[in-house]
């Protein structure tokens, strides 16, 4: 890059002195005085300083930034406030870098989320396979395995859709469906986990309550919260799942309450952060990796809703709000 300025300097000196030589010939100026003529040299050096400052150095900075970005430093950006062509190049690079970084982070999140979500279905499939020799009705076992395979396919498809939505590659596929029917499907899926802890799921939802949203994504969001509640609630307690509309009927609220140990009020927002563990020892016992609620928050955000936690002693309540 720096050779641009040097080449320009040599060209300027050559043409300026060439002009002096031609003028000296026509004006009968002694050639000896030509080399003492300082103005072309001064002009050339001033020009080289200007070219180096305004063109060469910025291009070097752009080249170095691109090299660092190519080497894996995806946070690299060029801080130029110029509004000329070089400034446009810098801003275009920054926009391209933002886009590439967004794609990379989206793919990484999808991979991690997928690994988290398929853990439970795979565990259930492993258990079913181990129990096959003891199950008399093989058709029932095969049907259960088929359901789990379909669940894995649905999870992979939904998380891929979520990743694509983050990259603005598609629009949500919304449909009008019964919320009561969705909650029944979810509770049937997590009922074995609740039974293991001698817990009962108490569902309250009006039969005529319908919602327009992306059913597979909303199913993942609610399931994550419900499994989290079952995992951390006390033995032999009830877990309440209530669905209804707000007073102005602009929102549909889905509230899940459990009677676990709870968490400090100042840590309520942290539970939605990826890999966040408020109680590390408890997570080790449950097998959680701190991603379920983070995935739920991402899904609800893309469904144009919100999710938040309330500490209602002696219970813990998480609420999903979706536009009605």
End of a domain among 42, 61, 76?
Answer: 76
Q: pLDDT digit string (tens) for 71-103?
A: 878 788 888 777 778 888 888 888 888 878 877
Provide mean pLDDT across the span 188-216. Answer: 88
**Predicted pLDDT of residue 283:** 43
| pLDDT at position 233 over 80 | yes
pLDDT tens, position by position, 16-40? 666 666 666 666 666 555 555 566 6
Characterize 202-239 residue by residue with b for buried, 16 or more Cβ atoms within 10 angstroms of its Cβ, and e for exposed.
Answer: eeebeeeeebebbbbbbbbbbbbbbbbbbbbbeeebeb
Task: For residue 182, give the H/E element and its range.
Answer: helix 179-196
- Could you list the residue range(s) of the whole structural domain that residue 28 is in? 2-76
Pick from 57, 44, 120, 100: nearest CA to 292: 120
Q: 236: domain CATH number?
A: 3.30.565.10
Q: Could you give the C-alpha distances from 37 to 10, 26, 48, 116, 117, in angstroms and in order? A: 17, 16, 19, 78, 79
47 neighbors 9 (Cβ within 8 angstroms): yes
66 compared with 111, residue with greater pLDDT: 66
Q: Into how many domains does the chain fold?
A: 2
pTM of the model: 0.55
Higher pLDDT, 280 or 51: 51
Helix (H, G, I), strand (E, B) or coil at 79: coil
Quote the pLDDT of residue 222: 93
Tell me what pLDDT residue 201 has: 92
What mean pLDDT is reported for the chain?
76
In a domain? residue 120:
no
Whether 180 maps to a domain, the answer reads: yes
Asked whether residue 134 is assigned to any structural domain, the reply reads no
| pLDDT tens digits for range 39-69 | 666 666 777 777 777 777 788 888 888 888 8
| Res 3 pLDDT > 60 | no
Mean pLDDT of 189-205: 88
End-of-domain residue from the set 76, 95, 110? 76
- Residue 99 in any domain: the answer is no
- The mean pLDDT value for 207-222 works out to 89
Task: Looking at the structure, tell me whether residues 314 and 186 fall in a common domain.
Answer: yes
The yes-or-no verdict on residue 288 having pLDDT over 60 is no
Domain boundary among 44, 76, 108: 76
pLDDT given at position 31: 56
Could you tell me if residue 123 is inside a domain? no
Portion of the chain with pLDDT greater than 90, in percent: 13
Average pLDDT on 186-202 reads: 88
pLDDT of residue 287: 44
Say how far apart CA 108 and CA 111 lie, in whole Å: 5
């Amino acid at each position: 890059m720096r050779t641009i300025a040097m080449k320009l300097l040599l060209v300027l000196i050559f043409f300026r002195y060439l002009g002096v030589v031609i003028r000296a010939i026509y004006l009968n100026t002694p050639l000896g005085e030509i080399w003492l003529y300082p103005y072309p040299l001064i002009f050339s050096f001033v020009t080289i300083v200007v070219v180096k400052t305004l063109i060469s150095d910025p291009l070097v900075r752009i080249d170095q930034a691109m090299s660092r970005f190519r080497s894996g430093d995806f946070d690299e950006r060029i801080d130029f406030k110029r509004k000329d062509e070089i400034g446009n190049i810098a801003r275009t690079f920054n926009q391209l870098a933002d886009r590439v970084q967004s794609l990379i982070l989206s793919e990484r999140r999808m991979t991690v989320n997928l690994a988290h979500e398929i853990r439970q279905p795979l565990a259930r499939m492993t258990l079913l396979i181990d129990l096959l020799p003891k199950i008399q009705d093989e058709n029932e076992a095969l049907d259960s395995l088929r359901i789990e395979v379909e669940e894995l396919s649905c999870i992979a498809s939904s998380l891929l859709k979520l990743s694509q939505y983050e990259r603005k590659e598609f629009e949500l596929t919304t449909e009008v469906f019964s919320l009561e029917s969705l909650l029944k499907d979810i509770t049937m899926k997590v009922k074995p986990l609740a039974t293991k802890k001698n817990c009962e799921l108490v569902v309250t939802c009006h039969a005529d309550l319908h919602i327009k949203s992306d059913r597979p994504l909303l199913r993942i969001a609610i399931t994550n919260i419900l499994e989290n509640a079952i995992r951390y609630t006390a033995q032999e307690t009830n877990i309440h799942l209530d669905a209804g509309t707000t007073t102005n009927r602009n929102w549909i609220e889905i509230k899940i309450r459990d009677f676990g140990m709870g968490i400090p009020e100042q840590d309520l927002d942290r539970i939605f952060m990826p890999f966040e563990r408020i109680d590390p020892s408890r997570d080790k016992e449950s097998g959680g990796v701190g991603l379920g609620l983070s995935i739920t928050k991402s899904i609800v955000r893309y469904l144009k809703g919100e999710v938040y936690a309330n500490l209602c002693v002696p219970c813990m309540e998480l609420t999903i709000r979706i536009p009605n």
